């Protein structure tokens, strides 16, 4: 007979078991049902677990009061997969920036953006970002790793709980390049859609463009919006701002975007940061219009948000308006997106997982 006390036997059993299990957040009813059945429990426990994870926001399985005491003790160590709040700050416009700590200690940023009836969450897909775009704070801090499915889904649950309001929209525009982490992003989209219940049309994935990945993404025939960070109207300018443009030229990117439209029947959103004196001249607007002629697309102009390391400038309102007007005259669908959360360093391009920029 073993001399090991029962409690620590249970502990080591749990530790071994939990290593075999990926964290539960992000799992579907079917996956959770299969898991509870593996544990010798009846199938309906899967539905209960699903409800506790996505609706009640349980952080430890030990707290699920509808489960028997004994089973709860057994599964207490199984990771639910929730992050812990490291820091939270509110900008004067109501935008909330969260620094969330992951199980391995890494920190990511998430932003909650309330407006009228909407609550939009801007989620990160990587810790840091390897793309190193010159105007973006995230790239300045380097790249650590991809986020797992549960780490992406957790961000939506966290904002939903904090606001005590249902999230209406999710934009994959936080730290990282989503299409370098396509599998986990696709899995997270599925869960956000089916488990949290947010319509695919209310989700937007933003990419700087990775060769072949836009086509691959299109082949999943999702209803989500694809946003492509263009930022330049010609190859030379784009290379200057985005290092990866050298190996993946603008013509190739635009060709792949056209394929996306053909495959999905959905238009593409093009994001274009306006940098004073650099890419905001009338000739750039005309050049951009030429690139996009006959293209089922929408242009989102994003006035540059300042970051410390570089001295780009945001154009004044007249210049922004002039750029917009030229595109409109050229029959390009276009709008201006003034980022929220500027004062909390929570705006587009300012996310660097630190308390201040």
Residue ranges in contact with ligand SAH by CB under 6 A: 135-136, 173, 177, 206-208, 229, 271, 273, 302, 304-305, 307, 348-349
Shortest separation between residue 258's beta carbon and ligand SAH, angstroms:
18
Look up tokens 């109207």; give the residue. 233
Q: What totals of helices (H) and strands (E) does the chain contain, helices first?
A: 12, 12
With beta carbons less than 8 A apart as the criterion, state whether 147 and 124 touch. yes
Q: Give whichever of 44 and 338 is closer to ligand SAH, judged by the CB atom.
A: 338
Shortest separation between residue 270's beta carbon and ligand SAH, angstroms:
9
How far is CA 297 from each of CA 38, 190, 238, 303, rounded to the nearest angstrom?
48, 25, 19, 19
Shortest separation between residue 109's beta carbon and ligand SAH, angstroms:
11
With beta carbons less than 8 A apart as the criterion, state whether 50 and 197 touch. no
With beta carbons less than 8 A apart as the criterion, state whether 204 and 269 touch. yes
Shortest separation between residue 280's beta carbon and ligand SAH, angstroms:
13
Q: Give whichever of 74 and 280 is closer to ligand SAH, judged by the CB atom.
A: 280
CA distance 32 to 25: 10
Burial (CB < 10 A; 0-12, 13-18, 19+), residue 262, is exposed
With beta carbons less than 8 A apart as the criterion, state whether 101 and 84 touch. yes
With beta carbons less than 8 A apart as the criterion, state whether 101 and 353 touch. no
With beta carbons less than 8 A apart as the criterion, state whether 96 and 90 touch. yes
Options 129, 133, 257, 348, the catalytic residue = 348
Shortest separation between residue 202's beta carbon and ligand SAH, angstroms:
17
Residue 330: Cβ within 10 Å count: 15
173: its two tokens = 């525009």
Active site residue 109: yes
8: its two tokens = 């620590």
Q: Where are the alpha helices (DSSP H) in the chain?
A: 6-20, 29-38, 44-54, 69-75, 137-140, 149-163, 182-191, 213-218, 235-241, 250-264, 282-292, 317-329
Options 109, 151, 177, 256, the catalytic residue = 109
Q: Which residue is nearest to ligand SAH (CB)?
A: 349
Q: Give whichever of 76 and 276 is closer to ligand SAH, judged by the CB atom.
A: 276
Active site residue 348: yes
137: its two tokens = 């704070």
Shortest separation between residue 324's beta carbon and ligand SAH, angstroms:
16
Q: Give whichever of 160 and 229 is closer to ligand SAH, judged by the CB atom.
A: 229
Element (H, E) at 336: strand 334-336
Q: Give whichever of 154 and 177 is closer to ligand SAH, judged by the CB atom.
A: 177
Q: Give whichever of 57 and 306 is closer to ligand SAH, judged by the CB atom.
A: 306
Q: Which residues, 6 or more positions from 118, have their beta carbon under 8 angstroms from its beta carbon? A: 168, 169
Shortest separation between residue 76's beta carbon and ligand SAH, angstroms:
37
CA distance 13 to 15: 6
Q: Give whichever of 257 and 302 is closer to ligand SAH, judged by the CB atom.
A: 302
Active site residues: 109, 348
């Amino acid at each position: 007979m073993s001399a090991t006390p029962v409690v620590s036997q249970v502990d080591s059993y749990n530790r071994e078991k939990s290593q075999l299990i990926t964290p539960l957040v992000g799992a579907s009813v079917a996956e959770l049902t299969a898991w509870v059945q593996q544990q010798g429990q009846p199938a309906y426990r899967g539905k209960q677990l699903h409800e506790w994870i996505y609706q009640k926001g349980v952080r430890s399985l030990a707290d699920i009061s509808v489960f028997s005491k004994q089973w709860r003790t057994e599964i207490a160590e199984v990771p639910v997969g929730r992050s812990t709040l490291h820091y939270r700050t509110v900008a004067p416009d109501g935008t909330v920036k969260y620094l969330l700590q992951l199980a391995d200690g890494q920190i990511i940023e998430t932003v909650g953006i309330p407006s009228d009836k909407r609550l939009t969450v801007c989620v990160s897909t990587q810790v840091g970002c390897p793309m190193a775009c010159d105007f973006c704070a995230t790239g300045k801090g380097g790249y650590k790793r991809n986020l797992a499915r549960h780490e992406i889904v957790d961000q939506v649950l966290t904002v939903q709980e904090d606001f005590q309001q249902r999230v209406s929209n999710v934009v994959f525009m936080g730290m990282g390049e989503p299409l370098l982490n396509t599998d986990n992003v696709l899995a997270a989209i599925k869960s956000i859609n089916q488990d949290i219940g947010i319509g695919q049309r209310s989700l937007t994935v933003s990419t700087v463009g990775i060769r072949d990945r836009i086509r691959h993404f299109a082949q999943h025939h999702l209803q989500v919006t694809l946003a492509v960070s263009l930022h330049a109207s010609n190859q030379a300018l784009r290379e200057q701002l985005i290092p990866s443009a050298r190996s993946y030229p603008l013509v190739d990117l635009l060709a792949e975007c056209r394929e996306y439209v053909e495959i999905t029947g959905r238009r593409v959103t093009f994001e274009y940061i306006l940098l004073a004196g650099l890419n905001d001249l009338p000739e750039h607007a005309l050049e951009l219009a030429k690139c996009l002629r006959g293209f089922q697309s929408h242009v989102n102009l994003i006035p540059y948000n300042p970051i410390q390391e570089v001295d780009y400038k945001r154009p004044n309102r007249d210049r922004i308006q002039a750029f917009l007007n030229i595109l409109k005259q050229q029959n390009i669908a276009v709008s201006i997106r003034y980022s929220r959360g500027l004062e909390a360093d929570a705006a587009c391009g300012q996310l660097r997982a630190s308390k201040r920029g």
